[in-house]
Structure 1
Amino acid sequence: MAFQKEKPLHSLFAGATAGAIEAFITYPTEFVKTRSQFGGKRESPIAIIRETLKTKGVTGLYSGCSALVVGNAMKAGVRFVSYDHFKQMLADPQGKVSAPRSLLAGLGAGMMEAVFAVTPSETIKTKLIDDAKRPNPQYRGLLHGTASIVRQEGIFGIYRGLFPVMMRQGANSAIRFTTYTTLKQFVQGTARPGQTLPSAITFAIGGIAGLVTVYTTMPLDVIKTRMQSLEARQQYRNSFHCGYRIFKEEGIRRFWTGTTPRLARLVLSGGIVFTVYENIIRVIGRQP
């Protein structure tokens, strides 16, 4: 598939803006998904929403939101810049990138975003959500929570769960970008040459890419959440031990806990991120 290389600053700005918008809009689904993945009594998404609204109000559904908005903006910026860079490296002399090479470019982009953006923001977000459900929360917000975590656990405290995050983000980006670009190429092949795809079509393609991503990477997401919880150091030696304990003690179905809210988020996320990104690039990068 042929592609047009974007300027790195354009990709960074468009990706970061799209990521921040998507994170804020979809955050309540992320909150519910994360809460449902902690150990202990299983709670349905509706029960979590009802209990949170009753005890914390609407703002309770946004506990840890600022960490995810900042992290998601950084993540999406790094993701799109990295993906464009890896596609350029893997393109053939005619500027085309095969599906397997697109998968590899997405894998590389996911690894980069995991190290530079996702792991710190996800760790802080997860700890803030875990702390918020306690009777007497110890963190007073993003800055206080981050400072407390670093003070108590050192800089590596915000990099807990790095391995499962790298695996999840690598798989996420590889599957999402490959699905998106493959479907986009197919749809463009049925359109008139040079025709710009409508935003509704871009949103639908991004949503389908999110749907495929959720079901294939859910176990990695569950392990990631457990490894970043407040009690992780006392319960799990590493990611493999965490996965083994979940499988042995809770059963294989536990790996797909939180699928519904994550599905809602990633389907919306895929649609929002790709639509916002494509439109910003169209405005600042090139004319339709």
Structure 2
Amino acid sequence: MGDKGKKEAAKPRTIPKYMNFIIGGTAGMMGISVVQPADLLKTRMQLLGPAGKNASFVGVAKEIVRKEGILGFYVGLSAALLRQATYGTGRLGCFNAMFDWHKANRGVPNFPTKIAMGVVSGAFGAWIGTPAEVALIRMTADGRLPPEMRRNYTNVFNALIRITREEGITTLWRGAGATVSRAMVVNGAQLGSYSQAREMLLPYMYDGLPLHAAAAMIAGFVTTVASLPVDIVKTRVQNAEKGTSQVQVLRSVIQKEGVFALWSGMWPTYAKIGPMTILTFVFLEQLNKLYLQVTS
């Protein structure tokens, strides 16, 4: 084998850019299918406002079961899946494509570069995923309203059609600024910290499920703390009947509920983000391995 052949044989295989998007979206959809109850619980707690200052996630969960039954935890699942099919596909595919390009052309990116990649990919994914995000917030919030005030969307497509018809197509991008802001924080923290934690733990752990889970647990905690204030603002902006700005919502929360209200629902959020981060990256790693095995 010539020098050129040896170099080609030694060069690690990479996944095609289009497959990064497909695998990323699939991993996200698999993950949200498991953690949807925690996501719904988090949303309900964020929408309680001053009245829910002392509410516990156990109490809110009991109220959901009492009023809506166990299946109430899966309201909005169709919207959550569509959100991952758009937002998840965009953010994970974009990040992995940029990471692979940087690694091949400039070497392994450093931590600040990883964060920057996460921020860019998060903004890209969030913009295309905003309509599904609006539908998801509306659907998961519906059960807390009196029966006569509920929107009663039957599924995500019914929600998108009715929102467009009743409120105008631009409503599908209501809170897009807040969604993009949150996604930039979430993905900068999540994708950057996961990649960095994985790299730091690799010398001490075998490259397998335990390593992926440990790195994802670290990334999940960092993401929860960093993103929760932005997430609360985004949720309230998108659930509002009339358009309102992020600044107005932020000021209102601090004045009426106190600054620590920006971290309300901390544990339900981590109960969603922690497992979601673990599941998404574990599924992502396994799907990547499966693709390389099948195509080898």
Same fold by TM-score greater than 0.5? yes
CA distance in 1, matches of 2:234, 2:293: 39
CA distance in 1, matches of 2:96, 2:118: 9
Which amino acid in 2 is paired with 1:222?
A: I
1:251 is aligned, of 254, 258, 263, to 258
Rate the CA distance shift 1:96–1:286 in 2: closer, same or farther, 3 A.
farther
Q: Are 1:148 and 2:186 counterparts?
A: no
Q: What is the CA distance between 1:244 and its match in structure 2?
A: 0.9
Q: Counterpart in 2 of 1:98? A: 110
Q: Counterpart in 2 of 1:183? A: 197
Q: Deviations over 1:179-237 (max 9, x none)?
A: 1111111222345xxxx61212211211210111000111000000100114353xx3x
Q: Counterpart in 2 of 1:202? A: 212
After TM superposition, list the pairs within 5 Å mapping 1:264-279 onto structure 2.
264-279=271-286
Name the SS for the 1:141 alignment partner: coil
Q: Are 1:57 and 2:69 counterparts?
A: yes
Q: Deviations over 1:117-161 (max 9, x none)?
A: 1x2122111111222222323323222222211112211111111
Q: Counterpart in 2 of 1:217? A: 227
Which amino acid in 2 is paired with 1:29?
A: A
- List alignment gaps of at least 5 residues for structure 1: none
Q: Are 1:120 and 2:152 counterparts?
A: no
Query: Contact (CA 8 Å) 1:5, 1:84: kept in 2 or not?
Result: no
Query: Contact (CA 8 Å) 1:110, 1:172: kept in 2 or not?
Result: yes
Q: Are 1:138 and 2:151 counterparts?
A: yes
CA distance in 2, matches of 1:243, 1:14: 36
Rate the CA distance shift 1:274–1:29 in 2: closer, same or farther, 3 A.
same
Q: Deviations over 1:227-264 (max 9, x none)?
A: 0114353xx3x111111111112110111111111101
Tell me which moved more, 275-284 or 89-98.
89-98
- Tell me the TM-score normalised to structure 1 length: 0.90
Q: What is the CA distance between 1:24 and its match in structure 2?
A: 1.2
Q: Counterpart in 1 of 2:246? A: 239
Q: What is the CA distance between 1:276 and its match in structure 2?
A: 0.5
Name the SS for the 2:51 alignment partner: coil
CA distance in 1, matches of 2:200, 2:141: 43
Q: Counterpart in 2 of 1:284? A: 291
State percent identity of aligned pairs. Answer: 22
Which amino acid in 1 is paired with 2:31?
A: E
CA distance in 2, matches of 1:12, 1:160: 25
2:185 is aligned, of 140, 148, 171, to 171
**Larger radius of gyration between Structure 1 and Structure 2:** 2
Query: Contact (CA 8 Å) 1:10, 1:285: kept in 2 or not?
Result: no
CA distance in 1, matches of 2:21, 2:181: 23
- Tell me the TM-score normalised to structure 2 length: 0.87
